[in-house]
Structure 1
Amino acid sequence: MPRALACALLLTLGTACRSSAPSSDDAKTTGPVRGGTLVASLRSEPRSFNRYVDNSAAADTTDALTQARLVRINRRTDELEPWLAERWTSAPDGRTFTLTLRPGVAFSDGTPLSSADVLFSFAVVYDPKLQSPLASGLRVQGKPLQVSAPDASTVVVTLPAAFSPGLRLLDNLPIIPRHQLEPAFKAGTFGDAWGLTNGPGRMAGLGPFVVSDYVPGQRVTLTRNPHYWRKDASGAPLPYLDRVVLEIASGQDAEVQRLEAGSIDLMSQADLRPQDYATMKRLRDRGAVTLTDVGTGVDPNVLWFNLATTQPSRGYLQKQEFRQAIAYAVDRDAIVNSVYLGAAVPVYGPVTPGNRLWYSENAPKYPHDVARARTLLAGIGLIDRNGDGMLDDQSGAPVRFSILTQGGNIRAQTATVIQEQLRQAGIAVDVVPLDFPSIAQRWMSGSYDSIYYGFQASAMDPAMNLDFWLSSGSAHVWHPEQGSPATAWERRIDELMQQQIAAPRIDDRKRLFAEVQKIFGENLPGLYFVAPKVSIATHLRVGGAEPVLLDPKILWNPDTLYVKDGASAPQR
């Protein structure tokens, strides 16, 4: 099993062509102001500050603040931008790219960046002993990229096969310091580097901030990188902020309470729950927060079953008909209205209607139909054998399974509604609320029936989500990192995705991906119910925020965030 729950950024199934910028009721702002501290909440405790071994939401957040890539996908425009590499050229075959590193760039400890750091980063991410969760997102047709360095400022990247998104792949790889981490890598202890105790104050990064302190259960403190390379349009050095403090919150209730009290500026995982909107609208009307309506979410929560193991006593948990029955038994409109208070839309797969470029209307849909669900269940031998209204398997044991989910937020509420709706179909469900580390541990050990969780969207193109779609991917959560496809339908999706990423024409890519969505919807390794309408609130003192649908929704451009002149700081 992979070393970390790939719960972040890899289910990126959004659209590349939003028609307009999000609407906002932002108040008048002054120009950027240098200095000050921005305080954000962090919904879960970090397990490491090493993004190469930890793919959690907390690691994603600190990575956005402390690390940088050769190129970057702009989360607002979806354009590929030069970043650590100032320019590049491509060979006629479209597979070989020569990148020139930006001169004068240094790590936060003052050590200059060179092509040796890039080569080291690739060596680490592809190390088979490390099993980095980033590795599968940096392969084309299962093969690693070939990387060389003719000199200290030049990097040549060759793709092993045709790949339409090209260098967009490199947005997956933060460049790390060879001089600091090579000893641990050679000693076989890289997985322990930049941990919670040996990371703060010692990490050398290329992002705008460095982790300076960590207090377990309380906060992560980051300070300005004194050697950060970016400047604003006027030539002033970035970042504007002196510090960013990530306050660890026990759940979304605590986050909203802190934002309402003014003790934080924003929530790092950003989007509001429907029940919070009335409170935030009142705060907006009072001049305390800015509200932005970003649109329909592209990263819906998913219920997946453990398909990596067989349980002879409850083999029905691995059956396609069982999952299809659940899809019919769950009333999505009821979830939209009772849990999301109307601020969501029903969905049936990982690609939401907000995904205007890649969403397929022809993907299977499962309208609420309890009778059809019971017919499917009866077809696999699950019927009411004792007249109590609940289903039993062929041995007479009750049909029952557990759902692990994160407590204290909208996932737990939704899981409870699913529990009640499946009871009406004769299926007993136990909802088990846990914290994220416990869910990750149970997932990694395979000790679970099903998990209801969410994933962060961080890119638009489905070719950037191979870690989810391919059977070999670490984010193929129902059965990750398969040596070879376990099923014929997974093999077919592997084939289609490999064709899709190589196709030069967008129409061909869309056609192939529509077939992928159809196969996924028929086999339902993951069940999707609703996609929220995303609204984001920030304290009025926050400037430079450009909220987007893709995570990190606000902290994707941390170096240009600022606190407005004269605005009062959060009370901590």
Structure 2
Amino acid sequence: MSRSEIKFRQGLALLSLAVMALVFPLFLTGCNPRDYKTQAAQVPQLVLVSPTDPKTFNYANNQTFPSVFPFIYEGLTKENGATGEYEPALAESWKFSPDNKRVVFTLRPDLKWSDGKPLTADDVVFTYEDVVFNPQIPTDQKESIQIGTKKVFPKVRKISDRQIEFILPEPFAPLLAATAAPDGIMILPKHALGDAVTKKLPDGNPAFISTWGTDTDPKKIITNGAYMIDSYSAGQRLILKRNPYYWRKDQAGTQLPYIDRIVWQFIENQDTQLLRFRSGDLDVMGDTRPLRPEYFSLLKREEDRANFQVLNGGPWSGVLYLTFNLTKAKDANGKPFVDPIKSRWFNTLEFRQAVAYAIDRNRININLYRGLGVVQNSPISVQSPFALKEGLRAYNYNPDKARELLKKAGFKYNDRGQLFDSEGNRVKFTLLTNSNNLTRVAIGAQVRQDLARIGIEVDYNPINFNVLIDKTNGSRDWDAHMIGFTGGIEPQGLANLWMTSGGSHSFNLAQQPGQPKIQGYVANDWEKEIDRLFIEGARELDREKRKAIYGEFQKLVQEQLPVIHLVNDSAIMAVRNRVQGLKYSGLPSWGLWNIQELRIKE
């Protein structure tokens, strides 16, 4: 990845030819997704692609994106991906009390699960009280709805089969966001999962934690969304079919979704994905992760001839960052998760700031994003009204400043320009990222080059995405990693990353439910201050006052630098003209957020 742009393009072309040589025989042997349509079942079908298999079919256990859940579940509310507004979903309406401490949601009449059983207030209470609020179930949705300094959950109670009341300890501005799909809390079936919550495993954890893994018969997964799982072949594809009991209808009274079947292909290599799209085997590319920038101009030239569109929705709503493992905790046997020598470096502010100054983000944007990206200085998505546009500390490329900071912190250089700490240890660490994202792999290679210029040796290791998540959110076995995080309008959606109790707070991960015990966890004072700001921001209902609170949060992050923000993608997606009804923008994390409205015109 250290080649010039010309050599990079030449290498990409050669790689594409090599991949084509491997993939072409597959087309001849019947692996074309179009072949799944038998003469007896010529139904409208959409063929999509994902770089990774699903990790689970249990929504509460999910920690990754993309996932199958936006296809198969809905929440009480839904975020409109075009406007950012919260709209009715399973709940047809809601009403706040005058003091904003009670909210009554009214479900739509005659809601049903995919097995035909009624969906009622009992399912809503079960989802919130028995699953999300359960301290033994490590769902990532907890932080989105914990309220106040004591981080308590609302009381969710049934009024009738169609009405549920949320009783809040104090006003909570992000409530509608917390209840909204695809990023908020989705409703689960009590009749299918209730027993798994109460039944205990030998280790004392609820059986729910190991329920509905990807080894479960997909036909046993009960859903309430537009689709249900028909079949799953690990490493190959997942096939979804229409949920016959889905509640949505169009203005003419036609039941949605319009598309009968979705074939979700799993192809890790992005160049292979490109070949499959160009050959007509995929309908959409870039719906769960923006297209690689170098694909943009290539596909743009082919739009008219190949009968597809390349859409640019502006800056993507997620963020890309590099972070160090700041934990000082130890495992159950007393072994530090991070080498104490490296831990001293990582927990030195000047070291983190030096690394930030050493990374040439504009070069990343020009060379790897083709100028289509946005240099990010904030943890909040640029589309959000809460994102600070000015006044944030920016770590613009300045290797001289980086060296000054390192020397100030006691680091020293030898006559070959190599960096050592005050005790004579060579400064070297391992950087991880997910290997399926080739742009990110290239960014990591440049980061390694940039840090070499200030004397730091980086052992760069792109690995499988699911393995990366297991390390960062589970075993804590890592030095530094680079990853993206989905964003949106509401800052509270970031709580799982930024609050100390969050399951995605990987840079200093606290004890998580169901994980082996850890010892000696300590949160930094600035982490506690971020907790306070999130709590204060959530209880404030005035938009301008909330903006000021989250402004303090953004400034604090840029001062303490637990993560180093890099360059944000543009939301670029390619879609065949046969797919109609798409409402695309860079705001939602999922480009097909209105999947139920899409049609196929053959």
TM (normalized to structure 1)? 0.89
Aligned to 2:571: 534
- The gaps in structure 1 that reach 5 residues or longer are 1-33, 568-572
The reply to whether residue 399 of structure 1 matches residue 427 of structure 2 is yes
* RMSD of equivalent CA atoms: 1.8
Q: Is the 8 A contact 2:145 2:175 kept in 1?
A: no
Of the candidates 94, 97, 107, which is equivalent to residue 101 of structure 1? 107
Task: Assess, with a 3 A threshold, how the Cα gap between structure 1 residues 447 and 399 changes in structure 2: closer, same or farther.
Answer: same
Distance, in Å, in 2 between the alignment partners of 1:154 and 1:356 is 32
Task: Assess, with a 3 A threshold, how the Cα gap between structure 1 residues 138 and 166 changes in structure 2: closer, same or farther.
Answer: closer
Distance, in Å, in 1 between the alignment partners of 2:464 and 2:431 is 13
Distance, in Å, in 1 between the alignment partners of 2:312 and 2:253 is 32
Q: Partner of 2:458: helix, strand, or coil?
A: strand
Aligned to 1:293: 312
Distance, in Å, in 2 between the alignment partners of 1:436 and 1:562 is 32
Of the candidates 268, 271, 284, which is equivalent to residue 253 of structure 1? 271
The reply to whether residue 317 of structure 1 matches residue 346 of structure 2 is yes
Q: Partner of 2:323: helix, strand, or coil?
A: strand
Q: Is the 8 A contact 1:43 1:269 kept in 2?
A: no
Aligned to 2:418: 390
Instruction: Kindly report which structure 2 residues correspond to 1:23-422, keeping only aligned pairs within 5 A, or say none.
Output: 35-59=43-67, 62-122=68-128, 123-141=130-148, 142-171=151-180, 172-187=184-199, 188-267=206-285, 268-309=287-328, 311-314=339-342, 315-385=344-414, 387-408=415-436, 409-422=438-451
Q: More displaced, 158-167 or 400-409?
A: 158-167
Q: Is the 8 A contact 1:96 1:158 kept in 2?
A: yes
Q: Deviations over 1:446-498 (max 9, x none)?
A: 110011011223x3111332222222222222113479971111122222222
Task: Assess, with a 3 A threshold, how the Cα gap between structure 1 residues 553 and 517 changes in structure 2: closer, same or farther.
Answer: same
Q: Partner of 1:148: helix, strand, or coil?
A: strand
Aligned to 1:544: 581
Q: 1:557 deviation in Å?
A: 1.4
Aligned to 1:447: 477
Task: Assess, with a 3 A threshold, how the Cα gap between structure 1 residues 356 and 161 changes in structure 2: closer, same or farther.
Answer: closer
Q: Percent identity?
A: 30
Task: Assess, with a 3 A threshold, how the Cα gap between structure 1 residues 286 and 528 changes in structure 2: closer, same or farther.
Answer: same
Distance, in Å, in 2 between the alignment partners of 1:539 and 1:307 is 45
Q: 1:510 deviation in Å?
A: 1.0
Q: Partner of 1:44: helix, strand, or coil?
A: coil
Q: Partner of 1:341: helix, strand, or coil?
A: coil
Distance, in Å, in 2 between the alignment partners of 1:482 and 1:380 is 31
Of the candidates 469, 473, 485, which is equivalent to residue 502 of structure 2? 473
Distance, in Å, in 1 between the alignment partners of 2:289 and 2:600 is 17
Q: Is the 8 A contact 1:471 1:481 kept in 2?
A: yes
Q: Is the 8 A contact 1:542 1:562 kept in 2?
A: yes
Q: Is the 8 A contact 2:356 2:395 kept in 1?
A: yes
Distance, in Å, in 1 between the alignment partners of 2:59 and 2:496 is 16
Q: More displaced, 460-469 or 64-73?
A: 460-469
Distance, in Å, in 1 between the alignment partners of 2:354 and 2:389 is 22
Distance, in Å, in 2 between the alignment partners of 1:75 and 1:140 is 26
Distance, in Å, in 1 between the alignment partners of 2:143 and 2:385 is 26
Q: Partner of 1:269: helix, strand, or coil?
A: coil
Task: Assess, with a 3 A threshold, how the Cα gap between structure 1 residues 35 and 96 changes in structure 2: closer, same or farther.
Answer: farther
Distance, in Å, in 2 between the alignment partners of 1:199 and 1:144 is 33
Q: Partner of 1:245: helix, strand, or coil?
A: strand
Equivalent residue pairs, number: 528
Q: Is the 8 A contact 2:496 2:502 kept in 1?
A: yes
Q: More displaced, 505-514 or 482-491?
A: 482-491
TM (normalized to structure 2)? 0.85
Distance, in Å, in 1 between the alignment partners of 2:93 and 2:394 is 45
Of the candidates 531, 535, 543, which is equivalent to residue 498 of structure 1? 535
Q: 1:288 deviation in Å?
A: 2.1
- The gaps in structure 2 that reach 5 residues or longer are 1-41, 200-205, 329-337, 513-520
1:82 aligned partner, one-letter code: P
Q: Partner of 2:271: helix, strand, or coil?
A: helix
Q: Deviations over 1:59-97 (max 9, x none)?
A: 2xx111000111112121111111111112111111211
The reply to whether residue 517 of structure 1 matches residue 554 of structure 2 is yes
Distance, in Å, in 1 between the alignment partners of 2:252 and 2:78 is 22
Distance, in Å, in 1 between the alignment partners of 2:422 and 2:77 is 56
Distance, in Å, in 1 between the alignment partners of 2:356 and 2:482 is 14
Distance, in Å, in 1 between the alignment partners of 2:511 and 2:539 is 22
Q: Partner of 1:454: helix, strand, or coil?
A: strand
